[in-house]
Structure 1
Amino acid sequence: MAAAPSAPPASSAKESLREDLTCAICCDLFREPVMLSCMHHFCKPCISRYWRGTQGRVSCPQCRKEFSCRQFQTNYLVAAMVEKVRATTADTYIQNLEKQLKETLENYHLKREYYKNSIVRDKDKMDTIKRFGADLQARVTSEFRALHQILDQEETCMLEQLKREQVDELEKVERHLEAVELAKREIEENIRIFQQASTTNENIILTELPQPRPCLQVDIAPEIDLTALGNKYMAPLQYITWRKMFKSLKPGPSPLTFDVDTAHPSIRVSRDKTMAFECDGMILHLDNGKRFLQCVNILAAQGFQSGRHYWEVEVGPKPKWDLGVASEAIDRRSRIKLSPENGYWTLRLRNTNEYSAGTQPWTRLQVSSFPKKIGVFLDCEERRVSFYNADDMSLLYSFANGPRVKVFPFFSPCISGNSQEPHPVKLLHYPPVTLSD
């Protein structure tokens, strides 16, 4: 098959156009172009001078065809083309076009640099997801190792879920990476087109910019919420599974007891030290330096500075309460806001259905169901304090920057201010243990 004829160079086409628009008499671009009946064009002043003094018939300067009368007609289309050529050959027009070409190239270079940086960031995010996913898998495996064959199926299911979520996160970034790489290739193609135009037109008059390829619009890079990904797998997995395999769980939840010496005078503690009640009157106690005097609070007798610990608290239908952990060094004689800055990592309930995390300011929580039992997970090595609905082990809130020092489980049954019999805050033991008086 014969090759298709190649298009003439842009410079040849421009020269041919200029030649077609040049008067054969004055050898310059047409001025007031007119067309003779033989279809040849001349400047109106030129043909008028050419015929001046001629008696009788006149002729075309090009083809010598004679005419009995001096007739010609103005060609407005040619006039418009002449004016366009005249305008595009002006120095200011060429300079402006060159400036536009330079600015367009600079803009594409900047976009290419942006996409290159975005690709690097996306790849870094993918590496972070992979490393974080690998760490989570190791943690999951470690948690389930203690349950061995009994929990093998549970472990497999959770690892598959983790891998799916990791793949989902990777796919988000991969899709963005592919879009950025495609956009980068299109930008580079446009750069090539404009660079070619710039190189080709160094010594040639440029009449218009080349047509670039349309560029894809790339969405904003997806954010990686590693905290959301990690919370589920950095949770007390054994205790989550414990609802199904309670008897095989080792070790079980911490069997806490209340420290009566820390109880505010408005708190009454049961004989077995597992229930704390609000009371109308004030119980007289000796001042031992450990007791809360301003706020209706109480601590557990057991403190923790290392390891991982989990306990559950029954709050029942109480309309208000606070619970969590408190630093050993907290001020127990003053009224202080419960916040990590003051040594408290807590969850609170007010007005029966308003749940908040004890941050500064308070973080309001959206809770789908109102838990009657709260699970508290303290991971001293990870410095994490997490709260769960103990009925379904759904996460309510997690403090990722937890305590560095020794802490004690913290409770406040609050003063409900109603005439009904107050419901206690109760420490739950699994299995029940015999406590000394």
Structure 2
Amino acid sequence: MNGFNQVEIARVCCRNEAIGEKSIAAAMEKLQELQSEITCAICRDYFSEPVTISCGHSYCRACLSWTWRIGPTAFSCPECRQVSQVREFPAVNEHLAQLTDLSRELCSLLLQSAEGHHQRGRHKKALKLFCEDDQTPVCVRCSQSPDHGAHKLSPVEEAAHNCRKKLQHLQNHVGKRLEEAEKLLAQEERQAVDWDWMITGEYNRLHHFLLEEEFRCLERIKQEERASWDRLSQHMHTLQDLMLELQERSQQPNMELLQEVKQLLGRSESILCQRANAVIPELRECPIPGMIQMLSRFRVDITMDPTAASSCVTVSEDKKSVKTREGWEEEIMHPEDYAFHAVLAEQVFNSGKQYWEVDMTQLPQWMLGIYTPYLRRKRRRNEPTCDSVFLLQCLKKEEDYYLQTYPGSLEHRMKGPVSRVGVYLEYTSGTLIFYNVLHSSLIYEFHSIPFTGSVIPFFSPGLPLPGTKASPMSLCPVGLCVCCSS
């Protein structure tokens, strides 16, 4: 360490009576170069009994002891956080202590030399007055200049006395605050709460609850599947028995055939009417607690693009809802045509995770999904097809509602209409999921969609039922929670 040589040179310069302001500035510059070596990083003051730990950083003995006492990790460096392998408190670094003392002496000499120069102003006169407005000492001649003529001036002794009183007042105030901080710190140590342990316990408890709920949900699905299989099996046996009976009756003589034909025809008609309920399964409701709340982290504010709307629909002024125009009665021949009988969103997604919700409370029939022009259907032979529309559709037939997906295998009956649907899009994994928001249940999931370009949400209110007026399909406000909507 060459700090000793620098300090000695600066000290000799300061003791020279002929020292000038430039020499003082040079000595101050050398002292500033040593500041990082003789200053404690904790108290920001000169070292007092400096100690050096294994990582090479040095601190005041008292500061390091206080830090290790309150710190979460004992024997770790307050700067680099390296944990010392030596579990004993380090001894005082005498070499560094001597350098600190020399630097203190140098600082005092520099201040004395600088004060001697500052005692003489630009007029080479003693600075006997203090300008309260400019907060600077001045000589008598300067005090009479226009720069200080209207300022409040005080003798240097009086100004210094008043300054010491202010500093003493501040010192007392800081001392009281320091005592309060020490009391609060001691109180915090006595009443320390292990928040890490408690939070971890709550999440573990939540995981346990979700695992139990998952087990119950899967068991319920298995029971429903067994009941559905039994129902379909029974229906099949009923049809087989009916088929045998019809074959036998058709071979009977005329009189015997006509005697009970009325009952046979009625029973056959009744069995055939049970086909829809027996063959088309009912959509299972499997609520997932907290899922909608978690998805709300990815809520996006979507608006509809009137310029990208079909002539069959009309968009509201706020671009938040769409209705079917009167006169739309043409039949849709292919599911991809839905994108051309709908309205696209103004927002385009190329990455990330997004979630939005759509309200169709007044709509018995609707279509909802995404459109991407970069996944075209390939018509060539022996090549896989790639669809550009992925949708969920609701239809009403007689008294029942049916949900269908395209592409996909979902075709299920429902107990009643779905009034609010949540749509979750995860671009990277190619995931598109539809949720029944009010029941917090899953409707259907598309996965591994090979996105290669922009994805655009689309909305279609569908054809109104005969004798009914067109109703709107509306985007739910981002701030509207599930409880408010229900």
TM-score under structure 1 length normalisation: 0.39
| Higher relative contact order, structure no. (Cα contacts within 8 Å, ≥ 6 residues apart) | 1
TM-score under structure 2 length normalisation: 0.35
